[in-house]
């Protein structure tokens, strides 16, 4: 029992580490998705009174791939749980790269060029003068999106190092499959043995 106790402690620690990692990924992905759908920029037009905005741009308007990158990162998180060995490390690296992509997208969405390009695609925003100005910016949302991306990037890097110690879904199912296959083979062998015993005793199994 003294030898089994350290193994149980290591398994418990690994489970706690995995749960903490999942929570961090959920927070990072949730922040990115929340921020991407919020208004980052409010637009105004030349000659319009103050407060008469010409439109607004969300994070997704400014960076079209911001939400897809965050969703792909969360999907890769689930893939880490299902993968094993080298595949798990590779998938962890994918989580990190997608997190960096989210953080880079948040920064890109604050640039004047991105704002001008997104505003040019909005119907009814371009006035006769053709001049669009930025009336206000909500800096909190791009900052939160970048923070979420960095959390995902850090979580992916941590998983590449720690994931070999974590339990996975596949190992449990494989153990169960092995037991089922072993039980099925044993039943077949028992049936064969019973048939041959019956033949030795003069009973013809084909009659039944």
Q: Could you read off the pLDDT of 93-130 as tens digits, one per residue?
A: 999 999 999 999 999 999 988 888 888 776 555 544 45
Q: Are 36 and 66 in contact (CB under 8 A)?
A: yes
pLDDT number for residue 8 = 76
**Average pLDDT of the residues of the chain:** 79
pLDDT number for residue 142 = 96
Q: What is the dihedral of CA 92, 95, 97, 100, to 10 degrees?
A: -130
User: To the nearest whole percent, how much of the chain has pLDDT over 90?
Assistant: 45
Arithmetic mean of pLDDT, 174-188: 50
Instruction: At 90, list the tokens.
Output: 């590779």
Mean pLDDT is lowest, of 97-111, 154-168, 194-208, for 194-208
Q: Could you read off the pLDDT of 124-148 as tens digits, one per residue?
A: 555 444 567 777 889 999 999 999 9
Q: Could you read off the pLDDT of 27-39 as tens digits, one per residue?
A: 999 999 999 999 9
């Amino acid at each position: 029992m003294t030898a089994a106790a350290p193994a149980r402690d290591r398994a418990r620690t690994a489970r706690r580490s995995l749960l903490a990692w999942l929570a961090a990924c959920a927070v990072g992905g949730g922040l990115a998705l929340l921020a991407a759908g919020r208004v980052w920029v409010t637009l105004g037009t030349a000659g319009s009174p103050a407060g008469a905005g010409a439109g607004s741009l969300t994070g997704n308007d400014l960076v079209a791939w911001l939400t897809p990158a965050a969703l792909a990162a969360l999907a890769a998180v689930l893939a880490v749980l299902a993968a094993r060995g080298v595949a798990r490390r590779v998938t962890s690296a994918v989580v990190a790269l997608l997190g960096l992509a989210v953080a880079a997208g948040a920064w890109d969405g604050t640039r004047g060029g991105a704002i001008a390009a997104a505003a040019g695609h909005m119907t009814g925003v371009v006035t006769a003068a053709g001049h669009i100005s930025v009336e206000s910016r909500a800096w909190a949302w791009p900052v939160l999106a970048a923070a979420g991306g960095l959390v995902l990037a850090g979580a992916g890097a941590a998983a590449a190092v720690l994931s070999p110690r974590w339990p996975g879904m596949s190992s449990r199912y494989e153990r169960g499959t092995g037991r089922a296959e072993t039980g099925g083979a044993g039943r077949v062998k028992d049936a064969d043995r019973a048939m041959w015993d019956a033949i030795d005793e003069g009973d013809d199994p084909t009659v039944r």
